[in-house]
Each structure stands twice: as C-alpha cells, then as structure tokens.
Amino acid sequence: MATNKLALIRYKTIDNCLRNRYRKWTLESLIEKVSEALYEYEGIKDGVSKRTIQADIQLMRSDKLGYNAPIVVNNRKYYTYADPTYSISNSPISDADMEKMREAVSVLRQLNGFQYFEDMSDMVARLENTLQQHAKGGHSHVQFEGNGQLKGLHFITPLHQAILRKVPLLIEYQSFKAAAPTQGVYYPYLLKEYRNRWFLIAKPKKGKTLATLALDRMVEVQEMAANGFVEYDGVDFDRYYADTIGVTKSARDRGRKVVLWIHPRHAPYVLTKPLHTSQELLKQDETGAIICICVVLNFELERELLGFGEALKVLSPRDLQRRIARRIARMQELYPEELPR
C-alpha cells in the first residue's frame, strides 16, 4: 500500500495528539489539529473531513502499515492510546518494509561520484548494520555497471555545485592528444554521463561554441568570481542531444537518416533494445531486419555500429558506409592473414 505525504502528516499529527495525555481528544479536536498541520506544512486551507480522520484511525489500528496502534475511545467520545508509551514512530518495521529498505541501502552503496552519497556513507553503514540484524540473507538484488578505477569522479560534486550556483571555473585540462595540460576559463552548463564516463558541457570564455570536457582528463578545477558568469542561451539540452548517441556534437550537427541491416540472429536484441529513440523497423524477414535511426554521425555512433561486427551492415548514408569500411580495413591490417590454430 502506497502512503502519500499528506497521509503521513495526518498519521503523525494524530499520533502526537494521542500521545499527549494531558488533553482529552474528541474527533472534532483531532480534525482541527490535523487541519492546522496540513495548512502549516502544505498550505492546504480546506482542512480535512471527518470521514478522512475516521478512516485514518481505522488504518492506524490495522496492520496494513504495520502500526497496530492501540487506539481506544473512552466514554464513547475521547480518543487515546491504551498503552501510554505507544507511538507509531516506535512501531516495528514489517518484513516487507525491511526488504524495501535493504534494497534501498544496496542501491545507495553503489552510487558514487556525487558527494551527497559519500556524505551519507556513515548513515548508510549504520542503517545497513541495523537491517543486517534482521536479515535472512545478505544478497543484493540490484547491481549497477560501474568502474571503480575511473578517474575524475571527485570533480562531479564541485562541478554540479558550480552549475547550480552559476559560477565560472578555471579548469586545468589535458586531452589525450596534448603533451601538457592547459588552463582555461569555462562557464559550466551540464554534467552528462555516457557509458560510465562523465563529461562537462561548458562554454569556454575564449570561444563561441560549446566544449565537451571529460572529467577523467581534468587535472584541477577552481571556482572564480560568480559575477562573470555567462548564461547558456542555446537550445534546451534535452533537445540538443535528442539526435545524438554519446556526447560528441557541435551546434551545427544535425541528425541524419541512417539505414542498417541486422543479421536475423541479432535482430531481436536490436528490436527490443533500440540503438536510439528514433529507431524504426523498415523491414524484417528471414534474411534479417532493416532499421532506420536519425542521429548525428559521430565517433560514438561508429563505435556502436562496429561493436556488432559481422552482424550489422550500414546501407546508408554512403559517407558513413565508407568510414565504417575504412575502419574495418584498418582492423584487418592488425591481424595476419593466417593465424596459427
């Protein structure tokens, strides 16, 4: 049973009232207190109905949420707890809730990069220890793809904060092609992940086009005066990358129609896990499937297509077909014609 925020406010308010033994609580006084709480926390002015509070009391008495609250009515009028030490905050956690919390802890443990989760590590460890005392097994049922040796993850939090606060950054950066790192001022706009690798989309101070900086190539990041920040005035990034596989794209790049043949044995995988959201099935028979995607022709697209090996062929456009053919030819040069068996 899902419990929304308003219901939790009502349950908590009723609980606080019934724990107060110095006042006699009628149904009307409970309605008044709950209405006040809803206005204070959520700005709801309409109050709450008598029927809602009666239903809440019945639910708190039941075991649907694991409360089993000992709510009694004295003199057919006054509500209170039969056990003066009872509170829904002290109620035991159900097995179902325990399992959900265990899975949530498992998920939190596998999130890295954002310091928000690193700062929670002590709390997660203590919660995990508490759950372990009630655990029947200790196996995780959720596993993320990750690379613990990936560099640059410690930059995620400061970069994210700079984006939120609109702060220019002095970034020391060394690309794979550069012999030494160089420094530049950038206006950060977006953090983007692709295949476990993080990138910062930013505008260099000395430049007119967006730059894509890999976090694992950053040497140092320093904040600068916030009053010099230049706002991003381009297309919304969801639209900007809508026709892109990966992160490599310039403002001038536009998606192009790419037609591909897929081997019949591999077609089900591509049809159930599309290469891109624009994917369309043009034809399928015993010879294979022909699909179409509308994407920017970048390096990530080529790497994705080459990953299928002999199970995929580019039918069009011709320039992409030639690029893939040249790369396959260079791959063949890496291997002798006859390998020893």
pLDDT per residue as tens digits for the range 192-234: 989 888 999 999 998 889 999 999 999 999 999 888 899 999 8
The answer to whether 172 and 182 are in contact (CB under 8 A) is: yes
Measured N-to-C along each axis, helices 318-333 and 299-306 cross at an angle, to the nearest 10 degrees, of: 60
Q: Which two tokens stand for residue 3?
A: 């419990």
DSSP one-letter string for 181-229: -EEEEEEEEEEEEETTEEEEEEEETT-SS-EEEEGGGEEEEEE--GGG-
What CATH number does residue 200 fall under?
2.30.30
φ, ψ for residue 168, nearest 5 deg: -65, 155
Q: Which two tokens stand for residue 21?
A: 């033994």
- Count of CB atoms within 10 A of residue 295's CB? 26
User: What band does 1 get if pLDDT is binned at 50, 70 and 90?
Assistant: very low
Per-residue pLDDT, 2: 43
Q: Phi, psi (5° rounding) for residue 46?
A: -80, -5
**Cα distance between residue 279 and residue 65, in whole Å:** 44
Phi, psi of 229 (to 5 degrees): -70, 140
Which tens digit of pLDDT belongs to each residue from 53-84? 999 999 999 888 778 899 999 999 999 999 98
pLDDT for residue 190 is more than 70: yes
pLDDT mean over 95-114: 62
Last residue of a domain, one of 203, 234, 265: 234
250 domain-assigned:
no
- Domain-located, residue 295: yes
Structural element, H or E, at residue 116: helix 115-119
Q: Tokens 């939790």 — which residue?
A: 8
Range of the domain at 218: 153-234
Cβ atoms of residues 216 and 150 within 8 Å? yes
Q: For the chain, what's the residue count?
A: 341
In a domain, 146, yes or no: no
How far does Cα 226 stand from its chain's mean position?
28
Into how many domains does the chain fold? 4
Q: Indicate whether 245 belongs to any domain.
A: no
274 within 8 A of 315, measured Cβ to Cβ: no
Rounded to an integer, what distance in angstroms lies between the CA atom of residue 121 and that of residue 100? 18
The answer to the question of residue 285 being in a domain is yes
Q: For residue 281, is pLDDT > 70?
A: yes
pLDDT confidence band for 94 (50 / 70 / 90): low
What is the C-alpha separation between 170 and 191, in angstroms, rounded? Answer: 16
Find, among 211, 277, 213, the residue nearest to 243 by Cα: 277
Does residue 128 sit in the same domain as residue 172? no
Residues 208 and 158 in one domain: yes
Is 60 exceeded by the pLDDT of residue 141? no
Single-letter residue type at 147: N
Mark whether 281 and 229 lie in a shared domain: no
Q: What are phi and psi of 64, to 5 degrees?
A: -60, -35
In a domain, 339, yes or no: no
**pLDDT classification of 147: cutoffs 50, 70, 90:** low
Check pLDDT > 70 for residue 132. Answer: no
Could you give the angle at the alpha carbon of 70 between the alpha carbons of 91 and 4, nearest 5°? 55
Distance of CA 2 to the CA centre of its chain: 21
Residue among 67, 55, 63 at smallest CA distance from 6: 55
Do 161 and 229 belong together in one domain? yes
Any idea what the CATH number is for the domain that residue 316 is in?
Answer: 3.30.70
